[in-house]
Structure 1
Amino acid sequence: MSDRPRALIVSFSPIHRDARVLRQLSVVARHARVTTIGYGPAPAGSEEHLRIPDDAASLPQTVRGVLTLIARRWRAAELASPAARLSLELVAGRRWDMVVANDARALPVAFRLADGAPVWADLHEWAPEERSHVPVWKILVAPLMDHLCRTYLPRCAATTTVGLAISELYEERYGVRPAVMRNTAPWTDLAPTPVDGDTIRLVHSGGAVPGRRLETIIDVADRLGEGYSLDLFLVPAKDGEAYLEGLRERASSNPRVTFHPPVPATELPATLNRFDLGVYWIPPYSRNARLALPNKLFDFVQGRLAIAVGPSQEMESVVREHDLGVVSEDFDVASCVRSVAAMTRDDIARFKSNAHAASRPLSFESDAEVADGVVRTLLSAG
């Protein structure tokens, strides 16, 4: 085992519950001994995990770091975050055959630690507008993200991202066209459950993040009234659960809305399988929101659910291509209610059956081939 290549995965996220990074890790581990750097406990598949303290920010949020951003000293800001400095200390003096940088903010650390080894950048979204709806981020951090992409992406041995539209954006601005590796879930051996009983069971899973306007889902369930229920499996945001508590309060008068603890990614398809309709209406408050193609869409497919989404470009394309459900005319509550109420039980059963038929092409088994090709190429080059 000691003669196997060594790979380093850098992700400023809690990797043990970061579904995309875990799937990426599972592919890299087929070819190499993997060391991970990130927050939280050791993730499955990593031989060695170097843990960054949860309070070590991944952006230059110290007084000195913020002053660096204000002064537009991008080179100085690249490694100015507490997480970046700790990463360099944790891995000092070690050699790697390949390094994976998850998102643009990890690129400077990845290249410093690679020391000439090939670097794969996996871009989970359109980095220059990651949090462009937050004014301070847009003013101070967005230019840094642009600098990182402009500086490092052309130097990467491989780049990947979540969808075709975002890949085209990277090519247009930075001259680098990432391969598409979607946020698909592993194929799960399930069958659609019947649409029976008196209630059509709506479900949503994911992060309780304010910009996603999960209030819409709760309001839709209210407006649909008797005959519909809503179950929510939500991961709290880093706000002391303030947003999640607000959602609970909003739904407190509706006994048909139930909040559940979050479910591990490996258990999610079987959990979702008990329901009828996976719902997600995310307004286009940013370019990333408009082009979102999230984990949850593919989790719904593996759970063999019918799907209801808004007119989000990438999600609409998948839903229509495979006839998986309905797309509302707009993102307002009335439009979302109309799209759901228009479905008969037979329609929902047909959409669930179509999700079953699409479960293999829309699984990670197909996207893993992209990751597998990247790893083989990089280790061969290294």
Structure 2
Amino acid sequence: MTTWQRFCEALERIPNQEAVLVQWRLLVGDDIGLIQKLLRRTERRAYTILTRQGAALSVRNLPDGSCVGVNRESGERQIIIDDERWIYELDEVNLIKGVCQVLGALPSAITVELPASTRMIGKLSADPDLAVPTYLIIAISSGQFEQSLNALVAGSSESFIVFAATDKFLDASCTALLDRQRCLFLPFCEVFQFYECDWLITPIGRRAVEVFSEKFREERRDEGRSMERNSRIRVEREWPDPNEHTTAKVWTVKSGALKISTKTDGHPDETVEFSPNQDGTPTKQLQLMRLLCFKFPVPVTFSTILEEVYPGALVESPREPETLKSTLAKIGTLVSDCGKKLEKAGLNLRILPSLKIEPTRGTAISLQLRSLHRMDDKSLDEGDEPLL
């Protein structure tokens, strides 16, 4: 097994990919070039460290400023050099930069909500309409990997490439999920090599990426041609003011999905569905639409959306005002994405008004409808629709 392969395995064994240097070396070896390139020292010290023999030592500070490590099993003490306590973490910036270079990928803004164990690498094309989204999942358990993959699939409307350090957590259910989404999975340990501080891609890895990328682009071209054929019909339809002409009904099905069906001037339009994640937890879009539907006709302020959809931002905002500002911007994007989903499903986009100003906590929105009937019937199956 190469040092690079051992490093990939270590990423899936060390929680949060951070540990003292001796622990990294126990798992990876003494490849100084790889360690210097892909790890960086933090400003934090560990209070439990490992010896080269694998024994765990509890660190104790002495009055004179020195440190000793107490062996948890034998109770023996040994002097610890302060440098041995520094915590080293995965240098994600260098890792992703190196992967982008070898793949020819371009850094890209994150367009889906990512779990903590998932990173955006970039997109494999300079053409934004034909670019293949590429992600990296670094998990330390099969449950964390599956949860991250489910969240990634639920938040993405297109195919993508997803890397993981190894294929250790790729089971049959994850493979089936990737197949349904038409996604490509590749393990770092087999696709890349790290030699003398340089990134290399294996022939098998390069071929897999090239074949998938071309297939992705051909599908996007086909979609573009299909959309062009249908664009006249979609563009030419002018929706009347939904406040006067549109009624809606909303209901929840067994899966937890929220469905909305509308009529314009008494004529049925279409039905749109906001589904939960694979594990049953609600997506941000589902949480927002629930709020708007069940508060209707009362407007919902961004302050309420923060409390319900982004509660962590309220905790952090007193110390980090930029966190609050960026979260408010995320809500604005979330509103826009929900509106696009309504339009794509064949509903009036104007039901959910777009924001013309920079949002604040006092910004309020509401659905633009003449009436809304709430049909709270969770006994319905996916294909059923309640009668008014």
TM-score range, shorter chain: under 0.3
Output the TM-score relative to the length of structure 1.
0.26
Kindly name which structure, 1 or 2, has the bigger radius of gyration based on alpha carbons: 2
Q: Which has the higher contact order (CA 8 A, sep 6+)?
A: 1
Larger proportion of strand: 2
Output the TM-score relative to the length of structure 2.
0.25
